[in-house]
Amino acid sequence: MDWDEFAKWGARISDWARGYHETLRDRPVRAQVAPGDILNQLPVAAPQSGDDMETVFADFEKVVMPGITHWQHPRFFAYFPANATPPSMLADYLATVIAPQCMLWQTSPAATEMETRMLQWLRGSLGLADHFEGVIQDSASTATLAAVLTMRERALGWAGNEEGLSGLDTLRIYCSNEVHTSVDRAIWISGIGQKNLRRIPTHGPLRAMQPEALEAAIKEDIAKGLKPAGIVACVGGTGTGGCDDISAVCDIAAKYDLYVHVDAAWAGAAMICPEFRHLWEGVDKADSVVFNPHKWLGMQFDCSAHFVKNPDDLVRTLAIKPEYLKTHGHDGIINYSEWSVPLGRRFRALKIWFVLRVYGVEGLQEMIRNHVAWAKDLHDLFAAEQDYEIVTAPVLSLFTFRYAPGGHSDLDGLNQRLVDAVNDDGRIYITQTRTNDQLVIRFQAGQVNATQEDVLLAFDVTREIAGTLT
Ligand code: PLP
C-alpha cells in the first residue's frame, strides 16, 4: 500500500467511524451471532497474493461487523464500561501511525515524559497525594500482579526472585470476597498459592472487610508462624461495587508492616468528582492504587493508571537490565519498562493528554455525575415496582436487582432467563452476578454518549420482556 492509498483509506475510515457512532442506537448492543459464525467465514490459511483494500474493507463490513458487541453503544450497561471518546481515538490513531516502542526513555523520550506528566495530571485530578508516582500498565490485572509481586519480595527481604519460594517463609495475603479475580491470578502467578489468600468476612452496605476480623486473621497467622505480606483492598468491587474501609485497612497494615494495594479499577475514575472521594478515604496511606482510565474516563483500552508510593520497591521487584537495554549517559531518566511486567510498551499517555485537554476535568466530571444520577433514577423506578427487589443499592452508577414476582419457585433461573432474553432482544445489554447466594441482575451506566433516556429505557425493556416470561 502506498501513502496516497493510505491517506485515502484513512479519510474513508474516519467517515465510516462517524457513521458507525452516529448509528449505534440502531444496532443490537450484544452481537447476535452463534459461536463459529465468524470463524467459518475466515479461510483456513493466509492468502498467497494480496487483495485490494476495497475487497478487504467490504469483507470487514460483511464478516466482522455482525460479530461485534458494541462496547460504545449508549445502552451498553453490562460488566463495566470500556468507554472511548473521539479525542482518545484520534490520539490512539496518531500513536498507531507513529508506532513507537516506548520501553525506555531513549526509545521514546516524548512518550516517557508525557507519561510522567499525565500520571501527575491524573493524580491531581483524583485528589491523590503528591507522594504517589504513576505508571501506565496495560491492565489493572497487571498492576495488581506487580503489587502482589512487590508485597512478596518486600516480605521476603527481596529473596524470592533470586531463590524461588521453597524454603522461604509462607506468605499470607488478605482480601475480601468482593475483589476481582485478578487478585487470585496474581496470587497464583506470584507462587504464593491460593490457599495463602485469606478471605476476610465483610459487613455493612458497602460489603467492606471487617477490620477486627482482618486484624484477628493477621495475628492468628503470625501465631502459626506464617508471614503476612500484604492486603489487597477494593473500592468498587466488580460484582456489586463493594468498598473496603481503606483508612481502617491501612491503619491495621501499618501496625504489622504490611503492604496495601487498592484496586479501584472502575470506581477510581469517579474520584475525579470530589463528592465521591469518601469512598476511598485514607487512600493516601496505601502503598499502591490502580484505576483504569480505559473503563470510565473515555481514555480507551488499554490504559491502566498504577500509582505507587515507593517506585524503588516496584523497580527492585521487576527491573532487569541486560547490557542491550542499558542507555548510558542519561541521569535521572525513567525507563517505564522497569515498572511493569512486559518490556514493550505502547504510547498510551497521548490519549490521556488529548482527552484531558479537549474535555478538561470539568467535562469528565459532568459525564460521571450524569451517569451516577441517571443510574439512581433507574434504581428508583425499579425500587417502586412490586415485582422487583433492589439487592444492592447504587455504588456510584452500579446497582443490582432482581425480578421477583410472588410465588415463583426458581428466581435464579427466572432472572438468568430474563438477562438472556433482554440481551437477545438487543436494545440494551446487561449481565448477571451472584451475591448473597442469589443470581441478580447487574446494571451500570458509563457510556460517553448515553442520555438519561437511554438509561431509563432499561426499565421499559426489562419490564416488557419480563412480562413475556413464565
Ligand atoms: N479490578 C476490578 C475491580 C475490575 O472490575 C476489573 C475488571 O473489570 C479488573 C480489576 C481487571 O481489569 P483489567 O481488565 O484492566 O485487568
pLDDT per residue as tens digits for the range 275-311: 999 999 999 999 999 999 999 999 999 999 999 999 9
Q: Residue 332's pLDDT band (boundaries 50, 70, 90)?
A: confident
Atom of ligand 1 nearest to the CA of 139: 15
Give the rounded percent of residues in the chain with a pLDDT score beyond 90. 95
With a cut of 90, say whether residue 330 has pLDDT above it.
no
pLDDT per residue as tens digits for the range 109-123: 999 999 999 999 999
Give the per-residue pLDDT at 223: 97
For residue 163, what is the domain's CATH number? Answer: 3.40.640.10
Q: Is residue 305 part of a domain?
A: yes
With a 6 Å cutoff on the Cβ, whether 238 touches ligand 1 is yes
Q: Please tell me the distance between residue 30's alpha carbon and the centre of ligand 1 in angstroms.
A: 20
- Tell me the β-bridge partners of 243: 235
With a cut of 90, say whether residue 217 has pLDDT above it.
yes
With a 6 Å cutoff on the Cβ, whether 263 touches ligand 1 is yes
pTM of structure:
0.96
Question: Which structural domain, as residue segments, surrounds residue 159?
Answer: 101-346
With a 6 Å cutoff on the Cβ, whether 432 touches ligand 1 is no
Query: Hey, whose CA ends up nearest to atom 14 of ligand 1?
Result: 139
Q: Is residue 292 part of a domain?
A: yes
The four Cα atoms 361, 362, 363, 365 give a dihedral, to 10 degrees, of 90
pLDDT per residue as tens digits for the range 41-73: 999 999 999 999 999 999 999 999 999 999 999
With a 6 Å cutoff on the Cβ, whether 240 touches ligand 1 is no
Q: Is residue 205 part of a domain?
A: yes
Q: Is residue 140 part of a domain?
A: yes
With a 6 Å cutoff on the Cβ, whether 137 touches ligand 1 is no
Pocket test for ligand 1, best of 234, 240, 263 (most atoms within 8 A of CB): 263
Measured distance CA(445)–CA(27) in Å, rounded: 18
Give the per-residue pLDDT at 340: 95
pLDDT per residue as tens digits for the range 376-397: 999 999 999 999 999 999 999 9
Burial environment of residue 42 by CB neighbours within 10 A (0 to 12, 13 to 18, 19 or more) = exposed
Q: Is residue 464 part of a domain?
A: no
Pocket test for ligand 1, best of 144, 181, 238, 442 (most atoms within 8 A of CB): 238
Measured distance CA(415)–CA(421) in Å, rounded: 10
With a cut of 90, say whether residue 329 has pLDDT above it.
no
Q: Is residue 272 part of a domain?
A: yes
Q: Is residue 169 part of a domain?
A: yes
Give the rounded percent of residues in the chain with a pLDDT score beyond 70. 100
Q: Is residue 58 part of a domain?
A: no
Rounded average pLDDT over 315-332: 86
Domain count for the chain, please give it.
1
Give the per-residue pLDDT at 436: 86
